[in-house]
Chain A
Amino acid sequence: DTEVTQTPKHLVMGMTNKKSLKCEQHMGHRAMYWYKQKAKKPPELMFVYSYEKLSINESVPSRFSPECPNSSLLNLHLHALQPEDSALYLCASSLMTSGGDTQYFGPGTRLTVL
C-alpha cells in the first residue's frame, strides 16, 4: 500500500481563521514532507520531518506551523494567512532508505484564503 491520505480535500478560510491540514500514512515511512504548489508551478518544499523531528524549514512564514504527533501523522496549522497563500498543499512520505529514497504524495488539499 503506497497511500498517503490528506484531509480536507478543499478548505476555504478567511484571513483571521485558524485551521489545520492533516496528513496520514501507514507505510512505516519515517520522513514526512509538506509542499506548496501554486497553479502551473512545480511543488515547493516547505518542511521535512524525519523520525518525528523537524529537519528542514525552508524559510516558511510563521503563519504556517507544522506538527508531527507521531510517525504516521503530519499536521499543518494555519493562522492569519494571506490570499497569496492560496494553493494546493501536498503531503508526502518516504522510507528514508539510502541510495534513492522515494517520496509518495497524497492527493493534496486545495486551500483558498479569502
Chain B
Amino acid sequence: LAKTTQPISMDSYEGQEVNITCSHNNIATNDYITWYQQFPSQGPRFIIQGYKTKVTNEVASLFIPADRKSSTLSLPRVSLSDTAVYYCLVGDEGTYKYIFGTGTRLKVLA
C-alpha cells in the first residue's frame, strides 16, 4: 500500500501558478493517482486523474515522472476561490486499496 505524503500548507497569490506535490514511494503497478479539492465540511471534489506522464483538463494538469514515485498537481492562475485542501489519492480498483495523501492546505492571497 502506497504511503502518500504532501506538504502541509502553501500560500500563493491570485493569478499565480501553483504546483502541489505528492510523494508515493511504494506505488503499485496498477495504482492510479487522483487529485481532489476539499472545502470545509464538504466532500472531496474530483480534479484530475492519471497513470503516467502528463494529463491536462480544463482546470489543472497532472505531471507523473517515469518512476511514478511522485506526482505534481499544477493549478494555473489560481483565484481566491481555490483556497482549499488538496489531496492526492493513490489506489487500484482491482484491490480497492485506496489511501489518501496527508493533504495540502492552499491559501490564495489577494
Q: A residues bordering B, Cβ < 8 Å? A: 2, 4, 6, 31, 33, 41-45, 48, 50, 55-56, 88, 90, 92, 94, 96-108, 110
Contacts and interface: CB of A to CB of B under 8 A. Distances in A.
Given A102-B34, A108-B41, A42 B93 contact: no
A107 B7 CA distance: 25
B34 A103 contact: yes
Contact of A42 (B34, B87, B96): B87
A90 B44 contact: yes
Given A31-B96, A41-B103, A96-B93, 8 more contacts: A31-B93, A50-B96, A90-B44, A100-B32, A100-B93, A102-B34, A103-B34, A105-B45
Interface of B: 32, 34, 36, 41-46, 49-51, 87, 89, 93-94, 96, 98-103
A96 B94 CA distance: 9
A54 B44 CA distance: 23
A44 B100 CA distance: 7
**Of residues B32, B42, B98, B99, which shows the largest number of chain A Cβ atoms within 10 Å of its Cβ?**
B98
B100 A43 contact: yes
Contacts of A45: 96, 98-99
A96 B51 CA distance: 16
A4 B96 contact: no
Contact of B51 (A43, A55, A94, A100): A100
A102 B101 CA distance: 16
A42 B98 CA distance: 12
A42 B103 contact: yes
B102 A42 contact: yes
- Return the 6 tightest CB-CB contacts between A and B, nearest first: A105-B43, A42-B100, A101-B93, A48-B96, A100-B32, A56-B96
